Amino acid sequence: MMKGLKKWRLFAMLTALIVFLSGCGKNYLSTLSPAGEVAKEQHNLMLLATAIMTLVILVVVIIYVLALVKFRRKRVGEDVIPKQVEGSTKLEILWTAIPIILLLILAVPTVALTYKLADTKAMDAKVADGQNKPVTINVTAKLYWWQFEYKNEGIVTSQELVVPTGEKVYFNLTAGDVKHSFWIPAIGGKMDTNVDNVNKFYLTFDKESKDLEDGVFYGKCAELCGPSHALMDFKVKTLSRADFDNWVKEMKASDKQVATGDLEKQGEEIFKTSCVSCHATSGVGKGTGLAPNLATFGDRNRVAGVLDHNKENIKKWINDPQAVKPGNTMPQPEKINNGKKFTDQELDALAAYLMGLSVEK
C-alpha cells in the first residue's frame, strides 16, 4: 500500500514540476514565443513533430494497456497462451507502412523549409533606385564576443545587434578562432560559424524590442567553444525601419564623439594610451579586429555581454577580465598599463568615458 502511494506521489510531483516549468520561458529568449517568420515556421514544425511523437506514444500505450487487461492471468487462466502473430504478413506490412507515412509527413515540410531558409539570393540582388538594399550583416564570432559588420551601410558594431523590423535580414556567419554557433532563440534556429567557410541564412523580426522586459532579444553561442561558452551572449535591438536608418546615420557620425566632462576626458586619455591599439570607438572603423568595437558602449544592455550595465561592473571587467570570463583574450591591466593595475581614479575615469560612448543619447 505504502509503495503504491509513493509512486503516485512521485507522479504527482513530476506533473506539477512540468506545469511549473512550462511557465519559465521568457518571450525575449524562448523558442516557444516566436517573434519572427522564421521562428514561427520552425515552431510549427516543432509542434508537428511533437504531435507525431505523441500520437505514436499514445497508440503504443493503448495497445500495451489493452494487452495487459485482455490477457491478464486472472481472466484467461494460468495455462492459456495468446495467439502468436509472429510472421503475420498483414501486421508486417502495417507496422512498416505506418512509420514510413509518419516520416514522410515530417520530412516533406522539413526539407521544404530547409531549402526556403537557405535561399539567400536576394542578399546580392540589385534594387531599384529609392529602394533600401537588403540589410546584410557579416557576423564574426570570437572568444567570447561577437562582431557585426553591416555590409551595405559601411558600419561595424559588436555585442549588440541592431536590425530593422518587418523585412528579411541576411547574415554571413564566420568564426575568428574556433567553431561557434549563432542563435537568437525567439527569432530563429541556430547556425554554426566556422573558420574555413561562410554559412548564410536570413531571419525576420516582427516586433520592436523596446517593449520587452530588458528592451532586447537575447542571443547566444550554441556551440561548446571553451570555458566561457555559457557567457558568450549578445543582445538584439529591433527598430522600425525609420529608427534603424537614423541609427545608421548616427553610427556613421560616431567618429565625431568627444568626451565632455573632466573625468571623461581623463578616461579618454587613458584609453588612448592603453586600449586604442585593440578597440575602435567609431562605428565606421573595424579597428584591428582583436577586440570589440566600442562606438555604442554607452547604449548597451550588458557589460561583457553578461554583467549589468553600470560603472561598477565596467571597473570590475577592466580590473580582472579573467575573473568574469575565464579564457577570454582581453589582457590583464598590467599588460597594457606599464606593468601596473589601474588605480580607482583611473578606473572611474575609464568607466565614465566608456559610458559616454553613445549614438542613441
Q: What is the pLDDT of residues 170-180, one digit of tens each?
A: 999 999 999 99
The pLDDT of residue 200 is: 95
Bigger pLDDT: 352 vs 287: 352
Residues of the chain by 3-state class (helix, strand, coil), percent to 5: 45, 20, 40
Of the pLDDT bands very low, low, confident and very high (cuts 50, 70, 90), residue 72 is confident
What integer is the mean pLDDT of 133-156? 94
What integer is the mean pLDDT of 192-217? 94
Bigger pLDDT: 28 vs 305: 305
| pLDDT exceeds 60 at position 83 | yes
With pLDDT > 70 as the criterion, what percentage of the chain qualifies? Answer: 92
Helix orientation angle between 262-274 and 344-355, rounded to the nearest 10 degrees: 100
What integer is the mean pLDDT of 39-58? 94
The pLDDT of residue 203 is: 96
What integer is the mean pLDDT of 329-346? 90
CB atoms within 10 A of CB 17: 10
With pLDDT > 90 as the criterion, what percentage of the chain qualifies? Answer: 68
The pLDDT of residue 56 is: 93
Q: Read off the pTM.
A: 0.85
The pLDDT of residue 226 is: 93
**176 burial class (0-12, 13-18, 19+ CB within 10 angstroms)?**
middle
DSSP result, 87-120: T-HHHHHHHHHHHHHHHHHHHHHHHHHHHHHT--
Q: What is the pLDDT of residues 207-243, one digit of tens each?
A: 999 999 899 999 999 999 999 999 999 999 999 999 9
Of the pLDDT bands very low, low, confident and very high (cuts 50, 70, 90), residue 3 is low
The pLDDT of residue 195 is: 95
The pLDDT of residue 287 is: 66
Among the listed residues 309, 304, 347, the one whose alpha carbon sits nearest the alpha carbon of residue 323 = 304
